[in-house]
Amino acid sequence: MGASLGGLEATKTILSTISRSFNLPIALVLHRDENSPTELLINILNKDSPIEVIEAEDKMMIQNSKCYIAPAGYHLLIDEDHFALSTENKVHHSRPSIDVLLESAADAYRSDLIGVIMTGNSVDGAEGLKSVKEKGGLTIVQDPKDAKAELMPKSAILAANPDYTIPLPDIGTLLMKLSEETRN
Amino acid sequence: MTEKIDLENLEIKLLLDGVYRVSGYDFRDYALASLKRRIHKCMLDEETATVSGFQERVLHNPESLNHFLLSLSIDITELFRDPDLYRSYREKIIPVLHTYPFFRIWHAGCSTGEEAYSDAIILTEEGLYDRARIYATDFNEIVIEKAKKGIFSQKVMKTYTANYQQAGGKQAFSKYYTAKFDNVQMDPRLNANITWAQHNLVTDKSFNEFQVIFCRNVMIYFNKTLQDRVLRLFYESLSPYGYLILGKKESLKFSPLENKFELIDINERIYKKIL
């Protein structure tokens, strides 16, 4: 999942819609200042979240029912079964970049992946979501009318032609449904 | 679809094998996800559509090989990047260095040298430079040559000055360099006790004993196997109660050597060898 401006509230909304039985891992990129402490963000998110929200670390194994946030100032990548960090150049002026996360996730998980783009005032994430779709994953974009900032979802829609363009609460419900399906 | 992806992973293995045999540089244990990104970027630069096509270019064309090697060595770096780290260095490690008549510091994976120069500046200000022997190493000879020269673009000095001040620097930063057209030249006196050398963390052994080792945002590019091997190299290269400084979001958490170190700064990832 990725978001920029308005992303914190958007994430809170989604997390409050799912339940504790949510069985999938979530990797999340929220654009923010390079020096902003992730701890604050995590505390805010954990308050309303039924699943644990933690900061992703290099070489950390990816586990179900957890929401991992990319640290500020680093790109977050998926390396088979664990997370990897990188300090490469910013992508679309962002580090962490949503494109970087989605592209590596698409590479690692192919069709076993759900990509979600939410509110934001950047085009970061559009190419990444396109990668997700190209490699067989499911693509969801927050309805721009529902979003605090439209640029990010609009760019994603244009680039990726997502499977779903829906408001936030519906995203939460859909993710819950998909999580249930994977149990079976 | 599945086959296509697995094919690329195979091609990458072959590429790295080829590069190793031809150049001696061993990237076979680098973290795959970030390595793949760099390979793709190089492929774009070389206008090759497949990794195999890129391999042909790299194996037959020395310029392409060098370009590839460079792309694996250059990373974001600034003088006094992560100012808080240098602040913590001044507060926690410098006092300890004062107790030694003489000490060695290793900047492992120093790239174009900004970190080593930052260290040299701090040591100078603390009156410790004469007692210091700094070793700055990188596997890439080209970046080492660049680092030795100490030339940086004039454009970035404003940022570097701000970094320096945020790190607690109180002098006029400009006293550490002279302007030369569009560039600046670091004061050669900063270089006096720095040995710039080629050293490959993957293949080379320990070469000395150090009181401080900096290795920041280098090991994130290694896979777990290589990371553990390099950490062991650092452990063996550190004197008792020596310090290991990692990148802001790196840690010893998933390493078998974790219990041999004490974490003395959780924000700046400074570890002290205790066992």
State whether residue A54 sits within 8 Å of chain B by CB. no
Q: At A62, which helix (H) or strand (E)?
A: none
Question: Can A124 be counted among the known catalytic residues?
Answer: yes
Distance CA B139, CA B201 (A): 7
| Strand-pair category, B210-215 with B238-246 | parallel
- How far apart, in whole angstroms, are the C-alpha atoms of residue A129 and residue A135? 10
Q: Which of B58-62, B69-73, B96-100 has the lowest mean pLDDT?
A: B69-73
Compute the average pLDDT of residues B189-194: 96
**List of chain A residues with pLDDT < 50:** none
Integer-rounded Cα radius of gyration of chain B: 20
Name chain B contacts of A136, Cβ cutoff 8 Å: 1
**Candidates A122, A124, A146, A155; catalytic one:** A124
Alpha carbon of A16 to those of A4, A31, A61, A153, A176: distances in Å? Answer: 19, 21, 25, 21, 11
Q: Which of A60, A87, A110 sits opposite B217 (nearest CB)?
A: A87
Q: How much is the CA Rg of chain A, to the nearest whole Å?
A: 14
The predicted-structure confidence for B237-246, as pLDDT tens digits, reads as follows: 999 999 999 9
Q: Which residues of B touch A100 (CB under 8 A)?
A: 37
Residue B4 predicted with pLDDT over 80: no
Closest A-chain CA to B221: A86
Distance from CA of A145 to the nearest CA of B (A): 34
CB B251 to CB A58 under 8 A?
yes
Distance CA A143, CA A24 (A): 23
- Of the residues A69, A82, A83, A87, the best mutation for testing chain B's interface (the one with the most B CB atoms within 10 Å of its CB) is A87
From the list B36, B76, B250, the residue facing A107 with the nearest CB is B36
Q: Do A80 and B223 touch (CB under 8 A)?
A: no
Whether the Cβ atoms of residue B55 and residue B27 lie closer than 8 Å to each other: no
Do the Cβ atoms of B220 and A89 come within 8 Å? Answer: no
Q: A89 contacts in B (CB within 8 Å)?
A: 76
Which three-class secondary structure string do you get for chain B? CHHHHHHHHHHHHHHHHHHHHHHCCCCCCECHHHHHHHHHHHHHHHCCCCHHHHHHHHHHCHHHHHHHHHHCCCCCCCCCCCHHHHHHHHHHHHHHHCCCCCEEEEEECCCCCHHHHHHHHHHHHCCCHHHEEEEEEECCHHHHHHHHHCEEEHHHHHHHHHHHHHCCCCCCHHHHEEEECCEEEECHHHHCCEEEEECCCCCCCCCCCEEEEEECCCHHHECHHHHHHHHHHHHHHEEEEEEEEECCCCCCCCCCCHHHEEEEECCCCEEEECC
Is the model's pLDDT at B63 over the cut of 80? yes
Mean pLDDT, rounded, of chain B = 94
**Both tokens assigned to B265:** 């700064």
Of B33, B217, B219, the CB nearest to A79: B33
* Residue A91 touches partner B, C-beta closer than 8 Å: no
Active site residue A170: no
- Residue A98, amino acid: I
Residues of A in contact with B36 (CB under 8 A): 104, 107
Return the pLDDT at A37: 84
Q: How far apart are the C-alpha atoms of A99 and A132, rounded to whole Å?
A: 10
> From the CA of B249, how many Å to the nearest CA of chain A?
7
Distance between CA atoms of residues A102 and A107, nearest Å = 8
Helix segments in A34-150, DSSP class H? 38-48, 98-109, 126-134
The pLDDT value recorded for residue A29 is: 97
Residue B3, pLDDT score: 59
Give per-residue pLDDT as tens, B137-175: 999 999 999 999 999 999 999 999 999 999 999 999 999
Size of interface A-B (CB pairs under 8 A): 69
Is B31 within 8 Å of A84 when comparing Cβ atoms? Answer: yes
Task: Look at residue A182 in the predicted model and tell me its pLDDT.
Answer: 85
Q: Are A137 and A161 in contact (CB under 8 A)?
A: no
Give the alpha-carbon dihedral of B78, B79, B85, B88, to 10 degrees: 180
> Chain B residue closest to A72 (CA)?
B249
Q: In A12-132, which ranges are E strands? A: 26-30, 52-55, 66-69, 75-79, 82-86, 114-117
Residue A137's closest chain B neighbor by CA?
Answer: B1
Phi, psi dihedrals of residue A174, rounded to the nearest 5°: -65, -45
Say what the pLDDT of residue B2 is. 54
CA angle A4, A8, A11 (to 5 degrees): 100
- A31 is an active site residue: yes
**Chain length of chain A:** 184
Task: Measure CB to CB from residue A87 to each of B1, B38, B76 and give the nearest one.
Answer: B76
What average pLDDT does range B208-235 have in this prediction?
Answer: 95
A28 close to B (CB below 8 A):
no
> Tokens for A41?
């963000």
Q: What is the pTM of this model?
A: 0.93
A57 touches chain B (CB under 8 A): yes
A60, A79, A107 member nearest B31 (Cβ): A79
